[in-house]
Amino acid sequence: MDPKNDIKPRLDKWLWAVRVFKTRSMATDACKKGKIFIAGIAAKPSHSVKEGEVIERRESQITRSFKVTGLLEKRVSAKVAVNYMEEITPPEEFKKLESARTAIIGVRQRGTGRPTKKERRDIEKLNKF
């Protein structure tokens, strides 16, 4: 029996290992808050990931989709991580994000002064992506 086929990583661990999230606790929190979906159903952090599954991550304005192409339990470099997942997010989702960025940034008129604290936080949130 091949030991690599016996790997059944937890969802939160896999998301962290392929660098979808910076920390495992961030991945766990996203699952608990209902931002991670498998087959349209909110997934728990302890869900066992299988090859071929499609995992959806709801972000502030878009839903990113990843297809599991390999199983991992330990974090790997970004160059290696791309071999274990395939991003299948439709281009329309990224267009939504880009239009939202330009809408908020484009609203400020020249000469209106510094952005307020709320406006600055909104701009920073958009620029994270």
Q: Find all residues with CB under 8 Å of 74, minimum gap 6, and list them.
A: 17
The tens digit of pLDDT for each residue in 38-72 reads 999 999 999 999 999 999 999 888 899 999 999 99
**Rounded Cα distance, 109 and 16, in Å:** 41
- For residue 62, the tally of other CB atoms under 10 A from its CB is 19
Burial of residue 35 (CB within 10 Å: 0-12, 13-18, 19+) is middle
The tens digit of pLDDT for each residue in 101-125 reads 666 555 567 778 888 899 888 878 8
Question: Domain 1-89 maps to which CATH number in 1.10.260.40, 1.10.530.10, 3.30.70.360, 3.10.290.10?
Answer: 3.10.290.10
Cα-Cα-Cα-Cα dihedral sign, residues 108, 111, 115, 116 = negative
The 3-state DSSP class for residue 1 equals coil
Please tell me the pTM assigned to this model: 0.72
